[in-house]
Amino acid sequence: MGQLSNRNIAVLSENGFEETELTSPVQRLKEEGAMVHIISSKSGKIQAMKGDHEWTIEVDVDKTIKEANADDYHGLLIPGGVLNPDSLRKNEEAIAFVKAFFSAGKPVAAICHGPQVLITAEVVAGRKLTSTKTIKIDLVNAGANWYDEEVVVDEGLVTSRSPKDLPAFNEKIVEEFAEGIHEGQHS
């Protein structure tokens, strides 16, 4: 039995996610016994990117955002990539899904460009986090306290900068998802 047995984790993504920022955390979550669902705006498959220009693997979508209910999940993971967060930010249902995790105090993890979704969900003001440096100013302007560290944890909110930080990120998401509800996570 892993630390995350009996835990359901939602992975919110669209086409253009950074491949390792989805596959590596998902593998680690499953190793700890979590049931992981890939959730996207459309059914079928979503495709990864490596860097800014190379399309790579396809991943099966388990549920659409319309089919998914945040109440059914213990935590949320938002992978980065340049295209993925930008697509999610335009989707009102995706933003409502993200907000529901914060309202319930559930742990949320985002890496690289993933925190852009949190800006649109208006849940970063006063929070400590990190991201790729290219969106630092966006997070600061939205009221976040930005740190240049491999992983930053703030009351159930776990963020990292890039794929090179995945080992630290993966360990912290397991820890935070295992802890469950965080009173300070409420938006």
Catalytic residues, which ones?
113
Put the strands of the sheet holding 35-40 in their side by side order.
Answer: 63-64, 35-40, 8-12, 75-78, 108-111, 157-160, 151-154
Nearest to 150 by CA among 175, 137, 169: 169
- Quote the CA–CA distance of 167 and 140 in Å, as a whole number: 26
- Quote the CA–CA distance of 83 and 37 in Å, as a whole number: 20
Q: Are 28 and 174 in contact (CB under 8 A)?
A: yes
Nearest to 46 by CA among 26, 70, 28, 71: 26
Q: Which helix (H) or strand (E) holds 49?
A: strand 45-50
